[in-house]
């Protein structure tokens, strides 16, 4: 039984480390949220490897490689914070100084590595760094406090989202529910077990190992396959100037012109259409055009344009003359720039993935 557990842990680590590195690479080049999800998976994958090491008594071997020094729990709350920001705020961009928040975890890894070298080369009688109260607080207790704080922030955002989405009367699909709440539930459960083990000295580490092995990589893989899996569907929150700023404009007339130019000229089919371009075509100030869309459509410009694009795709799906075209071809013709963007926007507007919509409306 013990041998089987060690094999399972080793396989789980292998899958986890490959997945985490893939997410990190993808996050650097494209979806930034994946970078921070990858860092979270990296730390937890090493935790699984640590469980394997204890299972086979690897740590006590004289020739062992101290891989456990290459992780820092301080990475978890910082990475989760940025992951939450990127998945709940579509326009969020991390400030350049944000990488300084990873300095404490970097110093921890360097400190542990130097201490290990000193222990092995000079004096094996020196105590573990964890026996130092300040070090124990910084590296074991502070990450728990950080995770608790970030998860509270995450939970509050999800609660507000749920309330606003319910008030909007729109539907959330089952896969969206899993994506929105699955990772939060997993990390909350993991943190509570972490508190029980470190803070209360309860014997919960075998439960943590099972949880990591059973849930972590399934959720991580889902995020790798679909970068938008954890992204909250966008609910427009209009922020527009007061009407008095544009008192000399006739809103009803300009709204009619706006819709007419979209339908007659199919402006939405331009994949990189901007607010400024539409405003110039209508000879209106961009701020006024933004005001019109926000106030009278309860939407922002991108959401307004994407509604036309989704409508165009749905219209062509029902047109026998368009049946020879692929779904991606229809999406690109409608103005979407990529398959992933199309899938995300289509789900936001219809509550269903394109494939689900096709099955229901065949």
Dist CA 331 CA 329 (whole Å):
5
User: Which range (176-190, 267-281, 346-360) has the least confidence?
Assistant: 346-360
pLDDT at position 110 is 93
Q: What pLDDT score does 169 carry?
A: 64
Determine the 3-state secondary structure of 124 from DSSP.
coil
* Structure confidence at residue 238 (pLDDT): 47
pLDDT beyond 90 at 95: no
How many CB atoms neighbour CB 293 within 10 A? 24
- Indicate whether 153 pLDDT > 90: yes
pLDDT at site 124:
67
Q: Please tell me the predicted confidence (pLDDT) of residue 208.
A: 82
Q: What is the pLDDT of residue 93?
A: 82
Answer whether residue 241 shows pLDDT above 60: no
129 near 135, Cβ under 8 Å? yes
Q: Considering only CA atoms, give the Rg of the chain.
A: 26
224 closest CA partner among 81, 22, 2, 362: 22
How large is the average pLDDT for residues 219-227? 70
pLDDT at 72: 93
Helix (H) or strand (E) holding 63: none
Angle formed by the axes of helices 174-194 and 142-168, nearest 10°: 160
The pLDDT value given to residue 203: 82
Question: Alpha helices, DSSP H only, in the chain?
Answer: 2-29, 32-55, 75-88, 103-121, 133-136, 142-168, 174-194, 205-211, 217-225, 251-265, 275-282, 286-297, 301-317, 327-334, 339-350, 354-360
pTM: 0.65
Predicted confidence (pLDDT) at residue 362 exceeds the cutoff of 70: no
Mean pLDDT of the chain: 83
Task: Kindly indicate the confidence band of residue 228, based on its pLDDT and cuts at 50, 70 and 90.
Answer: low
Comparing C-alpha atoms, which of 355, 351, 320, 360 is closest to residue 339? 355
Tell me: the pLDDT tens digits for 270-298?
A: 888 889 999 998 888 888 888 888 888 87
Q: Are 345 and 306 in contact (CB under 8 A)?
A: yes
Residues 6+ apart with CB under 8 A from 333: 269, 312, 316, 325
Average pLDDT estimate for 41-58? 88
The per-residue DSSP string of 176-218 comes to HHHHHHHHHHHHHHHHHHHIIIIIS--S-HHHHHHHIIIIIHH
The full DSSP string for 69-106 is: GG--TTHHHHHHHHHHHHHH-TT----GGGGGGGHHHH
Higher confidence at residue 232 or residue 112? 112
The answer to whether residue 32 scores a pLDDT higher than 50 is yes
- pLDDT band at residue 225 under the 50/70/90 scheme: confident
- Residue 309 or residue 91, greater confidence: 309
Selection from 47, 55, 48, 25 nearest residue 37 by Cα = 25
Out of 54-63, 141-150, 284-293, give the one with best mean pLDDT: 141-150
Phi-psi category of residue 239: left, alpha or beta, with phi > 0 → left and psi -120 to 50 → alpha: beta
The predicted pLDDT at position 76 comes to: 95
Element (H, E) at 270: none
pLDDT for res 350: 80
Q: What is the DSSP letter of 139?
A: I
Domains of the chain (ranges, CATH numbers): 2-225 (1.20.1070), 243-360 (1.10.10.60)
> Contact 180/230 with Cβ under 8 angstroms?
yes
């Amino acid at each position: 039984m013990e041998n089987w557990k060690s094999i399972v842990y080793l396989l789980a680590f292998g899958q986890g480390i490959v997945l985490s590195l893939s997410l990190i690479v993808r996050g650097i080049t494209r979806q930034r949220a994946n970078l921070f999800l990858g860092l979270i998976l990296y730390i937890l994958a090493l935790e699984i490897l640590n469980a394997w090491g204890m299972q086979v008594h690897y740590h006590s071997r004289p020739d062992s490689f101290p891989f456990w020094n290459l992780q820092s729990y301080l990475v978890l709350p910082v990475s989760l914070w940025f992951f939450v920001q990127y998945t709940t705020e579509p326009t969020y961009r991390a400030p350049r100084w944000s990488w300084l928040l990873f300095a404490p975890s970097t110093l921890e890894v360097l400190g542990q590595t130097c201490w290990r070298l000193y222990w092995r080369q000079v004096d094996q009688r020196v105590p573990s760094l964890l026996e130092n109260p300040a070090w124990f607080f910084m590296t074991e207790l502070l990450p728990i406090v950080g995770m608790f704080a970030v998860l509270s922030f995450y939970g509050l955002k999800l609660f507000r989202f749920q309330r606003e989405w319910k008030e909007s009367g729109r539907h959330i699909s089952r896969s969206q529910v899993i994506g929105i709440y699955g990772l939060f539930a997993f990390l909350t459960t993991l943190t509570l077990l972490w508190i029980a083990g470190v803070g209360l000295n309860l014997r919960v580490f075998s439960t943590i190992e099972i949880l990591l092995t059973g849930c972590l990589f399934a959720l991580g893989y889902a995020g790798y396959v679909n970068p938008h899996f954890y992204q909250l569907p966008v609910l427009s929150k209009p922020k527009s100037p007061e009407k008095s700023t544009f008192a000399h404009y006739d809103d009803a007339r300009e709204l009619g012109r706006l819709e007419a130019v979209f339908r007659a000229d199919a402006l939405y089919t331009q994949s990189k259409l901007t607010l400024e371009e539409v405003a110039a075509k209508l000879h209106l100030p961009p701020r006024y055009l933004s005001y019109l869309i926000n106030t009278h459509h309860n939407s922002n410009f991108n959401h307004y344009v994407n509604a036309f694009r989704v409508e165009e795709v749905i219209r062509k799906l029902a047109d026998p003359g368009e049946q020879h075209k692929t779904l991606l071809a229809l999406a690109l013709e409608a103005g979407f720039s990529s398959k992933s963007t199309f899938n995300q926007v289509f789900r936001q507007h219809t509550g269903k993935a394109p494939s689900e919509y096709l099955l229901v409306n065949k």
